[in-house]
Chain A
Amino acid sequence: MAYVAGVTHALNAVADGLRLSPEFSPSPRQPVLPLPDPAQAPPEVKAVFDEIVGFYALDRPPPVFRWMARDVGFLQSYWPATRQAFTDRTLDRLMKEILAFAASMTGKSDYGVDFHLREARRLGLTDQALTETVEVVQLFNTVTKIADALCLQPDFDPRRSDHLGAHHPAPSNTARPSTNV
């Protein structure tokens, strides 16, 4: 899940930062910098593009990878990492795309929402599962902001592997006078 979080956040940052147009939804966005034309790509770039369009079942490489093709070596290195992050392992590929969609919604990425919703749909996401996903995203965007607004300290100690069910109290909680919520 951490790899999915990192790669999704990074690709969304690049795509939205450069104003790359979403692949599957209408958008007035125009890239702030020109993208290489895939038809003019050298063989080593075309080989990577072929892998990408095969992996995502597309007829052309997504804009974010076209951008990366400005530096062939970077594309050749980063794409295999992206592919591995989204390959079936302990989590299957559909679940990873659901997580990437949730990350994109939370990060308010137009590009990411468009891309990962399409991909999750393609891999079998149902309407009911989509509804449930969005509900969880909404719920936890609520509580994470409440927690941050109040600077709530964790209930559990994340450094302990035996913490399940064990209370990790914040000692300052009752000692300090302050406003009740």
Chain B
Amino acid sequence: MEIVRVTEAHELAAEDQRFCDATKAWFKIDFVPKMSRVLLTVPEFGRPYGRASRRAMADGALTRAQKELIATMVSAINVCEY
């Protein structure tokens, strides 16, 4: 059970709506994930974090799929259900 109310996407700042759309396109989903909404609840945190994340997860020396596997491993070791 979440201990906070997660901000709905439409409650986020207008300038963050474009980021929300980009997030949906990035993950090929039709909703904005909770983590994105949580991060953008404080835009001064969420915007730079989002930029760092998008940059780090793009194809590079490692593919995006390989990076998602690493992310899954980190989540597994941290026993993070989300």
Please list the residues of chain A having a beta carbon within 8 angstroms of any beta carbon in chain B.
Answer: 1-2, 4-5, 9, 91, 95, 98-99, 102-103, 106-107, 126, 128-129, 132-133, 135-137, 139-148, 150-155, 164-167, 170, 172-174, 176-181
List, in ascending order, chain A residues with CB within 8 A of B78's CB: 106, 141, 144-145, 148
| Inter-chain contact total with CB atoms closer than 8 Å | 149
* B75 lies within 8 A of chain A by Cβ: yes
Closest to A99 in B: B73
Q: Which of B31, B39, B61 has the most CB of A within 10 A?
A: B61
Given contacts A128-B60, A136-B70, A140-B70, contact A153 B5 (CB under 8 A): no
CB distance from A3 to the nearest CB of B (A): 12
Among A136, A141, A154, A165, point to the contact of B28 (Cβ < 8 A).
Answer: A165
| B70 contact from A133, A144, A167, A179, Cβ within 8 A | A133
The answer to whether A136 and B34 touch (CB under 8 A), given A144-B75, A144-B80, A178-B4, is: no
Contact A132 B61 (CB under 8 A): yes
Greatest chain A CB density within 10 A among B28, B62, B73 is at B73
- CB within 8 Å of A: which B35-82 residues: 35, 38-39, 41-42, 49, 52-53, 56-57, 60-62, 66-67, 69-78, 80-82
- Shortest beta-carbon distance from A94 to chain B in Å: 10
